[in-house]
Chain A
């Protein structure tokens, strides 16, 4: 267990995160990062499926509040994540496994840092135990 490192799926909005960076670089380093044009495109099923398929946590990086290129995409996803946390809690899954960050980082330097930070914070939770909570139903 001392080798354990949580696996994280990260969605990052292109408009706020790392658009100056050569995108391929970020993606090469982190295969589990999904670039989306607007965090509003992230669906609840995306998040839940990721957890079901073996991710220990899901991180969504959205633009700062009020700066969404598509008006309120980040706000809507923020709302969605709040609800998902409640649903997860009721299934016995720690809500910390889903997180959203509202900020801006044109160079994309903060993307690995945010993932690392989340990894550290949820590593004490251990691997996710889906079987117990019957996600499949």
Chain B
């Protein structure tokens, strides 16, 4: 039977010197990517037994990252750093995770609640987005009684702004509802801090010993030109992308709402493209105007993901690169067109400071204008609670996330710094660690900055090209169903097998977990036998066999234990038998077999 273990000797250890595969260094929550890749590659071919395996891999992931079912649809940061990208394309880790998610979501409702004794203090989490839920989950596992205060009627925060053609509603609701059920987290819906008499101080008086504040960025940024706010943003037909996506996700906008309309979207970020593609699916003819240029690699390049741009382009959305908005024209209170000068430069050395060419101006007309140039936190509420410094910025320690004005408050997520979902989740985890230290009176900083070092690509003779992503053709995807096809079991196994497993064994241990070997073998060098010939360094794929200078001007071989995978190549290659594998019992098994002849 397919069985993996996660406890005891199979538990992943934190190495002293943090070598990790580059994907795990890139992942803000350092998910065990290599381990799950290896396990997926070793799933049985039979779909029914494979299901059990997928369930076990999912259980393992869930313990670290209860939102992994969502990540599998929307993240993929790890793929950016994959060593394989230089050799035929990054491992499609996001789709691999989605492969697990597709089965796991289906069974998530039946997952048993964690059996946790909650005998620690009460902690309040303000905001039920990814940062808040992650913090609540982690604290809950540590035994704290956590209450989440959510301003709206549902958890998830900004995750609801992700259109359904990328993230199905079922996956999101299931992940959110089961997270609070499984971890035993209390949620107070429709409770906005700052409304009426409900303040942070009041919560403190009610017995919450610490508060994690992660209210996100509910306020859309208004459009400016120069330093001035542009007029005409109150015209009929002008709206903000944030509000638009919110209404769409709540089902308040009918499926052909924009039929026959021309929609202009301003902005070059992923949210702007979400807005444009959503509007396109609602029947509109859409054009996007953004300040940034088409060349993503330049300083002024468009920040949206390549896949978003490609998708929009396929769906017939017109993109006007390097165009600013100088004026919004309207007639009798209704939006008409925007005046767009050419943007010659977006950033200078000091930061955002766009320059325009007034001689090259174009007009883009439409009847709806959706402004999506970012969003920001609700500063007045933060001001009222006294969490800002004299310059109007959030007063927070970036490492511990502890507020500099009130030590029992911790701040994180988008409210601190806008970022990806998983960056907010990392803030949640950091805050949970800080709250634990704060409660136990431990040092807030000690040992928290860990310098991870990415492992280099191992040498290999066989590289394979990445598989193609399968999207539904553009003419058939003008709806809100998923447009990307996930992996089948066979495809998932093959893709996972492509993984070069660059990372060290100690942070993976997939082989032990699945029972291939009892412990991680190591390679030792018997120096008295080593002739210093260096054959081992030329055969080692991982750069772990190295030469060192010893006394008498001699050179001897050594093994870098952090990089060594004990593949045995050097042992087999060594002409003087100076290298030996320890801990894999190969010789004993071999003599046993010989004796049985």
> Which residues of A pack against B, CB within 8 Å?
7, 9, 14-15, 19-20, 23, 31-38, 40-44, 46, 49-50, 53-55, 65-67, 69-73, 75-76, 80, 106-107
Contact = CB atoms under 8 A, between A and B. Distances in A.
Given A40-B572, A70-B541, A32 B44 contact: no
Contacts of B190: none
B569 A76 contact: yes
A68 B415 CA distance: 46
Contacts of A72: 459-462, 541
Contact of A71 (B500, B589, B592): B500
B593 A31 contact: yes
B290 interface: no
B51 to A, nearest CB: 14
A9 B462 contact: no
A53 B594 contact: yes
B597 interface: yes
A15 B501 CA distance: 13
A41 B581 CA distance: 9
Given A19-B516, A49-B594, A106-B44, 11 more contacts: A9-B594, A20-B1, A23-B515, A31-B592, A37-B521, A38-B568, A40-B567, A41-B568, A41-B571, A53-B594, A71-B567
A73 to B, nearest CB: 6
Contacts of B571: 41, 43
Contacts of A7: 597
B594 A35 contact: no
A8 B44 CA distance: 28
A73 B594 contact: no
A34 to B, nearest CB: 5
Contacts of A36: 584, 586, 589
B511 interface: yes
B561 interface: no
B596 A32 contact: yes
A101 B42 CA distance: 19
- Which 8 pairs between the two chains have the least Cβ-Cβ distance? A66-B462, A41-B568, A70-B567, A31-B596, A71-B460, A14-B516, A71-B541, A32-B593
B42 A106 contact: yes
Interface size class on chain B is 35 or more
B497 interface: yes
B569 A70 contact: yes
A42 B572 contact: yes
Nearest to B499: A69
Contacts of B2: 20
Nearest to B53: A20
Interface of B: 1-2, 38, 42, 44-45, 49, 458-462, 464, 497, 500-501, 511, 514-517, 521, 539, 541, 565, 567-569, 571-572, 581, 584, 586, 589-590, 592-594, 596-597
A37 B516 contact: yes
B459 A40 contact: no
Nearest to B541: A71
A90 to B, nearest CB: 20
Nearest to A53: B594
27 contacts: A9-B593, A9-B597, A20-B1, A20-B49, A31-B592, A36-B586, A37-B511, A37-B517, A37-B521, A38-B568, A40-B569, A41-B572, A41-B586, A42-B572, A49-B594, A66-B462, A70-B565, A70-B567, A71-B458, A71-B461, A71-B541, A72-B459, A72-B462, A72-B541, A73-B568, A106-B42, A106-B44
Instruction: Name the residue among A19, A65, A75 with the largest chain B CB count within 10 angstroms.
Output: A19
A106 B51 CA distance: 15
Contacts of B539: 76
A76 B567 CA distance: 12
A125 B49 CA distance: 42
Contacts of B565: 70
Given A32-B593, A70-B565, A75-B461, A43 B541 contact: no
B597 A34 contact: no
Contacts of A71: 458-461, 500, 541, 567
B559 to A, nearest CB: 15
Contacts of A106: 42, 44-45
B584 to A, nearest CB: 6
Contacts of B459: 71-72
Instruction: Name the residue among A19, A20, A32, A73 with the largest chain B CB count within 10 angstroms.
Output: A20
B507 to A, nearest CB: 16
Given A19-B516, A71-B460, A72-B460, A32 B597 contact: yes
A118 to B, nearest CB: 15
Contacts of A55: 594, 597
A9 B596 CA distance: 10
A35 B589 contact: yes
Contact of A34 (B44, B497, B581, B589): B589
A80 to B, nearest CB: 8
A52 B569 CA distance: 24
Contacts of B497: 67
A87 to B, nearest CB: 16
B576 to A, nearest CB: 13
B597 A54 contact: yes
Contacts of B515: 19, 23
A78 to B, nearest CB: 11
Contacts of A41: 567-568, 571-572, 581, 584, 586
Nearest to A23: B515
Contacts of B572: 40-44, 76, 80
A14 B461 CA distance: 21
A36 B584 CA distance: 8
Nearest to A31: B596
Instruction: Name the residue among A7, A9, A37, A66 with the largest chain B CB count within 10 angstroms.
Output: A37
A72 B459 CA distance: 9
B83 to A, nearest CB: 12
Contacts of B589: 34-36
A17 B117 CA distance: 43
Given A32-B597, A41-B568, A71-B458, A19 B590 contact: no
Contacts of A14: 511, 516-517
A16 B34 CA distance: 18
A125 to B, nearest CB: 17
Contact of B38 (A20, A37, A50, A69): A69
A36 to B, nearest CB: 6
Contacts of A33: 593
A15 B567 CA distance: 12
A14 B514 CA distance: 11
A20 B1 CA distance: 6
A60 B45 CA distance: 23
